[in-house]
Structure 1
């Protein structure tokens, strides 16, 4: 069955940025001291029209988001430098995305995680104190998923030294959660970072994977090359294990499922890594979801699902453990999508500024090739240390663009004094974020045309992507260390066509996490998307998959490959709408309407 919703649009006010303002902002961003290349600034030759933002509007104030991140602990307590993420989700089932933001102030801090509930006018209001997931801690990442199959999105949150599970008990649109960590038998005393729900054994109950970072000792003091104290790097500590928890289902009378730690028996305990980013997807086409972990300073790990509850680590064999010259880099954020239109999913990972972000292109089952140099990513207007990342068709022209957020992990050459305010302390780690547009399979850095993304300097970490205001344009939420969360609404002045699709699997794994959605447009072009919210860095994204359709005002068909490999076809229709595709209600595709 295809359920259609009417399109809604939010009027937008143009964001005009004059050249002088952009120039000052760029100069204010100190370049990385380790970077040997010069970085061009925005020139004053741009006209006022050229300087306007072509892609996004910063609507943070307009929509009512007033979240300010707090990083607790001593100045060089390393969890401060990792930051915190964000989760997008329709937590009260009103067809509007809400925003859950994580704090890092510590367990005794007054700074608590915040849920912003969206109202029909696309503004947001804080959920009142006591909504159930407003906890304090050294919070890191968040994942959203329906773990008890009751039709409501639940939340898992990773912390330095802990993990939390919140069961959604929302009634009558008022968002409410109950912490169920103990009841669910979940525990992780390690330093958890990114985490993701996925159904690795295809039993219909969402399991949980948690990337752990380092065996961190806060008493250790590290220094920069100058001899001055700075944050310790991953080489200063032992790496940790990625943990896997199996969802055992719900016992009679319980509201939360029970989880079992299967790290050892599944094989995940056989190899360590300093995990920061995590992605769950089928890398070899056998219809069993695998797990990629981006490791900081160690070879990446790719856990291939054997279909019997065990995994084998094969990152080197698949070509994603190292870059093209055999180096293990500082891997952080992860994005996954078909960037060259060959219907194979490619892998992108962010790194430090002294390295290059890496694009591994899929060349078929079990073969990924580093094609960073030919992709255009290295032809950037500046280099930053990247964290959160997302592929998305931000101009709705039919191919995937790329954005990622930046912020140093080591101080720049010019540094503030430790005793100065948090704003001044973090100013020496601040960088500009970036946007690349896909031009026939090659990326072009358009950051200087996007003041909303790149016009200021922050220590950015989390990035979530989704259509917040349901206007058919992808929006962004960016989190920063000791700074405000930023809300960016997509701008697409060309009025290109689009389609948003949600897939539903039925009573078990209701949101069909891991399904693959293929759309054939009216001209015969095919686009592929993975239905999964868990990518980027410390963040959870819109469950719906988004297609930009350019000048195609209709599509021929949609094919959904469900987790067990079954392919179901749904008839075509008009563009510019939201569809819900439910398993078992598809049919043979007819010509587009």
Structure 2
């Protein structure tokens, strides 16, 4: 009897008790998001640039406390900024804020690179990238040339991330490069074995197309950057088709590392060795291949402490006929492929792109959303269980390291079929329920809102750096509530070429207050905040000492 009671108590700490079933609906049309974003041919694609698609981002550009939406476009359209008007309505302000554009936009990442209190944007392109400085929350100025970020040639830039690699308070910039692409010299569909999918001729690549190198720009602290790719070791690995980018302190040494999902080649883990130097350790640390030693077709990437062990694990989306891959962090920065054990190994017909861990039911366990869509529209002619447009997948975290696919019961928004690419998660109306923005090929974006209400409580934390970079990118938060501790980090970029909410959302289940919040700032400062009310947004400034809920907020360095 005592053993039975003990097992029940342990299970109560591990397994979510709520039978709650979410219902997600696509509210994009009634929110005012009706613009089609072109990305190459609809029924066939001649070149690989038409297949990789574009990202999407949440950014509160005017500091009004509401997340705005930035959607990227391929050639023939413009990127668009939508201002959040409240009440789940958006207004297109692209022209008035100076963000009209042209060309093949790929990825977006956000961060306050000049520490002026307004979040800036970096957009990657096939061609020349663009750095947009936020001028007082009113408009953006293209400062690419002034910032010394003009590239020496046209490049196929993809994922990006602002990251403070030496914790000097200035955000540096990592940019992934997919391959060298020139339409004039690229073979036509069906021209060689790399230009077929099964029995049909498709656009060529990435195999057979030349590799390119990844780039690290160091922030000089005066509004300019310098190329430190060689000096840092970032450019050393060669022979990789780089796409999604993820930053995080994976080995617990207080320095941000960089993970890159690579297509048909081993994925990369740049481990920060300090003093501006990185070493690539993807193979050594177990995140380059799957459990069978195969280099997968990596696309999107996300990280979370999904198992509650205090360490950031990595999820990577891949191509059809492959498993999506979950790498569990052993606690020392090395990883095990636990995809099958976690229940994530059965959806092999999908081509996965944007992905994000998030807690949809506020039970304190990070769930997982993944969007899909084949690279080749021509697959529909095969009449197989493979489609160009496909549904998203929602996995519920069951605790104990296990997930369950609940897509069929999660509402029409999850089951809508699109050829999706970028995905971003954020709380648009500050109600503790996270929305999902999705960039779809040659369609308007999707905006998935949870119209049902989960029973769990929550807190949304906004960090403001003072000695650290203003965006607090790289800060780690350890939160304790209801007897459980969770961790997360503020990061720029991620998912697939996209930018999520820079604020950190924590579900706390049945707990009615947050007992303790410990922040490890990039500067090295450790700050502790205690006894906080839940179901609200909490703003914490680095090093501040003030009264909140009649308790002193203190800070100290270790």
TM-score when normalising by structure 2: 0.89
**Structure 1 position 202 matched with structure 2 position 162:** no
* Aligned counterpart for 2:450 among listed residues 467, 470, 490: 490
Aligned-CA RMSD value: 2.4
Q: Is the 8 A contact 1:569 1:588 kept in 2?
A: no
Distance (Å, rounded) in 1 between the aligned partners of 2:433 and 2:545 = 27
Contact 1:555 1:573 survives alignment (8 Å): yes
The SS at the match of 1:415 is helix
1:398-442 deviation digits (Å, cap 9, x = unpaired)? 1000001001123565429xxxxxxxxxx9521111100001231
Cα deviation 1:16-61 (Å, max 9, x = unaligned): xxxxxxxxxxxxxxxxxxxxxxxxxxxxxxxxxx9x9823222112
Deviation digits for residues 474-525 of structure 1, max 9, x if unmatched? 110001111110111134433320110011111651121011101110x321
Take 2:356 and 2:197, find their aligned partners in 1: how far apart are those partners?
33
| 1:184 and 2:150 are equivalent in the alignment | no
Give the conservation status (yes or no) of the 8 Å contact 2:379–2:388. Answer: no
* Structure 1 counterpart of 2:301: 334
Q: Deviations over 1:191-239 (max 9, x none)?
A: 0011110111211111110110011232312332566431223112122
- 1:554 is matched with 513
How much has 1:366 moved relative to structure 2? 2.5
- Equivalent residue for 2:132, pick from 166, 181, 185: 166
Contact 2:86 2:429 in 1 (8 A): no
Provide the rounded CA distance (Å) in 1 between the counterparts of 2:434 and 2:209.
39
1:385 paired to 2:348: no
Task: Identify which of 333, 348, 356 aligns with 1:366.
Answer: 333
Kept after mapping to 1: 8 A contact 2:467/2:523: no
SS in 2 for 1:82: coil
* Aligned positions of 1:44-83 closer than 5 A: 54-72=22-40, 75-83=45-53
- Using the alignment, how far apart are the partners of 1:70 and 1:284 within structure 2? 40
Equivalent in 238, 259, 282 of residue 315 of structure 1: 282
Residues 359 and 132 of structure 1: CA distance in aligned 2, closer, same or farther (over 3 Å):
same
Superposition TM-score, scaled by structure 1 size: 0.83
* 1:469 to partner: Cα distance: 1.3
Give the secondary structure class of the aligned counterpart of 2:408.
Answer: helix
1:576 to 2:547 alignment: no
Structure 2 distance, partners of 1:327, 1:304, is: 22
Conserved? CA contact 1:68–1:483, under 8 Å: yes
Match of 1:5 in 2: none
- The answer on whether the counterparts of 2:247 and 2:492 sit within 8 Å (CA) in structure 1 is no
Distance change >3 Å, CA 507–CA 377, structure 1 → 2:
same
Question: In structure 2, which of residues 466, 470, 494 is the aligned counterpart of residue 535 of structure 1?
Answer: 494
Cα separation, 1, equivalents of 2:317 and 2:547: 41
Structure 1: gaps (5+ residues): 1-49, 251-256, 417-426
Q: How does 1:158-557 map to 2 (within 5 A)?
A: 158-170=124-136, 175-188=138-151, 189-218=154-183, 219-223=186-190, 224-225=196-197, 228-250=200-222, 257-272=223-238, 273-380=240-347, 383-411=349-377, 413-415=379-381, 429-440=388-399, 441-506=401-466, 508-521=468-481, 523-557=482-516
Aligned residue for 1:375, secondary structure, equals: coil
Q: Structure 1 residue 332: deviation in Å?
A: 0.7
Secondary structure of 1:448's match? Answer: helix
Aligned to 1:423: none
Pair 438,64 (structure 1): closer, same or farther in 2 beyond 3 Å: same
User: CA 1:398 to 1:492, structure 2 compared with 1: closer, same or farther past 3 Å?
Assistant: farther
Moved more, 444-453 or 546-555: 444-453
SS across alignment from 2:49: helix
Native 8 Å contact 2:289 2:295 kept in 1: yes
Q: Secondary structure at the match of 1:79?
A: helix
> 1:374-410 CA distances to partner (integer Å, 9 max, x unpaired)?
0011244x73110000000011111000001001123
Q: Is the 8 A contact 1:503 1:511 kept in 2?
A: yes
| Alpha-carbon distance change, 266 to 53 in structure 1, aligned in 2, over 3 angstroms | same
Check whether the contact 1:276–1:332 (CA below 8 A) recurs between aligned residues.
Answer: yes
User: Which range is displaced more, 96-105 or 371-380?
Assistant: 371-380
3-state secondary structure, aligned to 2:235: helix
Per-residue CA shift, 1:307-360, capped at 9, x if unaligned?
111111111111111111111100010010011111111100000120000000
Change in 2 beyond 3 A, CA 1:574/1:559: same
Q: Are residues 581 and 126 of structure 1, via their aligned partners in 2, closer, same or farther at CA, if it must alter by over 3 Å?
A: same
* Offset of residue 564 of structure 1: 3.8
Partner of 1:136, secondary structure, is: coil
Distance 2:209 2:393 in 1: 31
Q: C-alpha separation between the residues in 1 aligned to 2:105 and 2:243?
A: 14
How far, CA to CA, are the matches of 1:411 and 1:128 in structure 2? 30
Is the 1:216–1:237 contact (alpha carbons within 8 Å) kept by the matching residues of 2? yes
- Residues 69 and 81, structure 2, Cα contact 8 Å, conserved in 1: yes
Q: 1:93 aligns with which of 58, 63, 67?
A: 63
CA distance in 1 between counterparts of 2:94 and 2:215 reads: 33
Distance 2:141 2:379 in 1: 46
Q: Which runs of 5+ in 2 are unaligned?
A: 1-18, 191-195, 553-558
On the 8 A contact 2:256/2:272 being kept in 1, the answer is yes
